[in-house]
């Protein structure tokens, strides 16, 4: 199920998806096995996505920064009530209307904590057209495995411009629908508690509406609840739910796409980046090697929460430059919240935020200045 509201630069994603659904999700009898709904606004779109996810459908929306802002409260509902859904954010320059036809990576920090209260969202960060294809599939699997909204952050450069790509590989494994109980399961178990961690992975089992069993129903609450989905204001029960959500987020480190070591020659200096910054950074590394005879290591981040390999990369270098397309060093800020305190001092920032795609010379010039070369 697709629910959306038009916004530059994400509209083309929905248009292409709709064309593909008409091609591949129609039965021989001509019956559509999909729904595409243009909502009245982004609030309605994310509400429809969560409603469909709660009902058992795979659901998604696509938007850009202004739409992400409007989706904050519903995103918190999805996180706390543990409802799957996928949100694609094709980032553009902000704030406010900003530069709708220019690119940016400035939604990262707000998306990571979107909603009020203690909220952390899983984010996938593709760096190529091929990874957009692969991470889209992964996002739906992760949303249902983790029972939570999953965000996929691309940008205008990747989302609207023409690119050459390696061929897409057809998936070789079945869909991961997560932990869903059937009527037969409930007969065997005698019942269930929706938010109880029975397997030690911090993920409860769920049922879907329409499951024909007297023990299948439960209340889906955005208010305080215990592990049996009953309303509560008891401090220990509320804290237990929040602690379990933290454990689930920590477990997601091992499930999201792992970072890629692009270059590791045991240099004392490292680069960290994500998304389309990758292309300019690779060219910059060639410039630094050719002009200054200096090798620099590079790790490309592909998801949040950050995998443990990122911690290891920072620990193995004296200085680490975080290269990103925003003014406020948002990726570096997230890393500082995640890394041990003694590793934070190693981070440096190289920032680019004029709305154009990042170029290699800008990275090289800033790096040379900071290194005093």
Ordered by where they begin, the domains of the chain are 2-160 (3.40.50.970), 183-254 (no CATH), 260-371 (3.40.50.920)
The β-bridge relationship of strands 85-93 and 99-103 is: antiparallel
Residues of the chain with pLDDT under 50: none
Amino acid 234: pLDDT: 97
Q: Which strand ranges, in their side-by-side order, compose the sheet holding 319-324?
A: 260-263, 297-300, 269-273, 319-324, 347-351
Compute φ and ψ for 98, nearest 5 degrees.
55, -135
* Model pLDDT for residues 56-112, shown as the tens digit of each residue: 999 999 999 999 999 999 999 999 999 999 999 999 999 999 999 999 999 999 999
How far apart CA 348 and CA 269 sit, in angstroms, is 11
Amino acid 140: pLDDT: 98
Cα three-residue angle 132-303-85, rounded to 5 degrees: 70
Amino acid 262: pLDDT: 86
Nearest to 9 by CA among 120, 107, 110: 107
C-beta separation of 4 from 45 below 8 A: yes
Amino acid 265: pLDDT: 74
Amino acid 264: pLDDT: 72
* Model pLDDT for residues 22-72, shown as the tens digit of each residue: 999 999 999 999 999 999 999 999 999 999 999 999 999 999 999 999 999
């Amino acid at each position: 199920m697709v629910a959306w509201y038009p916004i530059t630069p994400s509209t083309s994603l929905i248009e292409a998806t709709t064309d593909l659904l008409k091609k591949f999700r129609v039965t021989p009898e001509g019956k559509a096995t999909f729904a595409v709904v243009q909502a009245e606004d982004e609030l309605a779109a994310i509400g429809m996505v969560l409603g469909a996810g709660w009902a058992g459908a795979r659901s998604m929306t696509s938007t850009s920064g202004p739409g992400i802002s409007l989706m904050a409260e519903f995103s918190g509902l999805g996180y706390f009530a543990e409802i799957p859904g996928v949100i694609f954010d094709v980032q553009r320059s902000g704030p406010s209307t900003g530069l709708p036809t220019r690119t940016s990576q400035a939604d990262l920090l707000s998306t990571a904590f979107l909603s009020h209260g203690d909220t952390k969202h899983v984010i996938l960060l593709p760096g190529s057209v091929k990874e957009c294809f692969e991470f889209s599939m992964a996002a739906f699997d992760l949303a249902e495995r983790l029972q939570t909204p999953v965000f996929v952050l691309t940008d205008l450069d990747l989302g609207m411009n023409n690119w050459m790509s390696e061929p897409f590989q057809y998936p070789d494994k079945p869909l991961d629908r997560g932990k869903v109980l059937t009527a037969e399961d409930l007969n065997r178990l005698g019942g269930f508690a929706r938010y109880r961690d029975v397997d030690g992975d911090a993920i409860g089992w769920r049922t879907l509406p329409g499951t024909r069993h007297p023990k299948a129903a439960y209340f889906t609450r955005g208010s305080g609840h215990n592990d049996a989905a009953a309303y509560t204001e008891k401090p220990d029960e509320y804290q237990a739910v929040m602690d379990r959500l933290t454990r689930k987020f920590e477990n997601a480190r091992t499930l999201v796409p792992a970072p890629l070591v692009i270059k590791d020659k045991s240099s004392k200096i490292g680069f960290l980046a994500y998304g389309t910054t990758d292309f300019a950074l690779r060219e910059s590394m060639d410039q630094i090697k050719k002009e200054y005879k200096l090798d620099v290591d590079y790790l490309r981040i592909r998801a949040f929460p950050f995998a443990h390999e990122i911690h290891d990369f920072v620990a193995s270098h004296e200085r680490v430059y975080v290269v990103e397309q925003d003014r406020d060093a948002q990726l570096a800020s997230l890393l500082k919240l995640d890394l041990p305190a003694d590793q934070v001092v190693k981070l440096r920032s190289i920032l680019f935020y004029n709305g154009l795609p990042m170029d290699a010379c800008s990275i090289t010039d800033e790096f040379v200045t900071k290194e005093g070369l």
